[in-house]
């Protein structure tokens, strides 16, 4: 059974956001699946990089949607993203310094735990509730990876990774498929 699953209590009801959360879980699950297959460390680290890049993209895209929807509680939400991005930065340092794989995996697990347990369940769902109850009727837009890159909010390297990971985000991605995509994208 995959380690991270899109259970009902994690669904916000905003399809674009739920699809991105699902894709993030796919990438995180792929890390552990690939490690369990005793893949080369380089391959495991590349897969962790895909979680890092996609997390950065997802937060930026969600923040854009909050501004666009004039979400009144956006400052608090952005502060939480900032705190999670500090964890992402720590994880990136571990990956780039080729820290022991157990340290990288526990950093990834801690990031996902905090994010899933508190942020998605409480804060992302609060934003979705706001969207559902406002009268504007505008569906939140989540900008594409290309738009985020063009706006200077995604580095060249992260954009290359996000672009290959993001395609077809509305359906689940297997670890083999992700590995193939990451290899092709290089």
The binding site for Fe ion (CB under 5 A) comprises 62, 124
User: Rounded to the nearest whole angstrom, what is the least distance from the CB of residue 67 to Fe ion in the complex?
Assistant: 13
- Looking at the Cβ atoms of 98 and 122, the one nearer to Fe ion is 122
Asked if residue 149 lies in contact with residue 37, where contact means CB atoms within 8 angstroms, the answer is no
d(CA 159, CA 94): 20
Least distance to Fe ion from the beta carbon of 146, Å? 20
Count Cα atoms within 13 angstroms, Cβ side, for 123. Answer: 21
CA distance linking residue 174 with residue 184, whole number of Å = 15
| Residue among 67 and 98 whose Cβ is closer to Fe ion | 67
| CB of 140 vs Fe ion, minimal distance in Å | 11
Give whichever of 35 and 59 is closer to Fe ion, judged by the CB atom: 59
Q: Is 185 exposed, middle or buried (0-12, 13-18, 19+ CB in 10 A)?
A: middle
Residue 62 or residue 158: which is nearer to Fe ion going by CB?
62
Least Cβ distance, residue 150 to Fe ion (angstroms):
22
Cβ-closest position to Fe ion:
124
């Amino acid at each position: 059974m995959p380690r991270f699953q899109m259970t009902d209590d994690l669904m916000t009801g905003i399809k674009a956001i739920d699809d991105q959360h699902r894709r993030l879980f796919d990438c995180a699950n792929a890390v552990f699946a690939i490690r369990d297959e005793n893949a080369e460390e380089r391959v495991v680290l590349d897969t962790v990089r895909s979680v890092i890049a996609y997390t950065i993209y997802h937060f930026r895209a969600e923040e854009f949607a909050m501004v666009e929807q004039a979400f009144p509680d956006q400052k608090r939400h952005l502060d939480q993203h900032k705190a999670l991005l500090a964890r992402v930065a720590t994880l990136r340092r571990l990956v780039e310094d080729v820290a022991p794989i157990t340290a990288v995996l526990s950093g990834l697990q801690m990031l996902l735990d905090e994010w899933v347990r508190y942020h998605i369940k409480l804060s992302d769902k609060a934003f979705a509730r706001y969207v559902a109850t406002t009268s504007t009727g505008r569906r939140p837009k989540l900008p594409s990876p290309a738009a985020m890159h063009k706006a200077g909010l995604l580095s060249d390297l992260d954009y290359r990774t996000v672009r290959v990971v993001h395609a077809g985000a509305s359906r689940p991605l297997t670890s083999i498929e992700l590995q193939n995509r990451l290899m092709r994208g290089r």
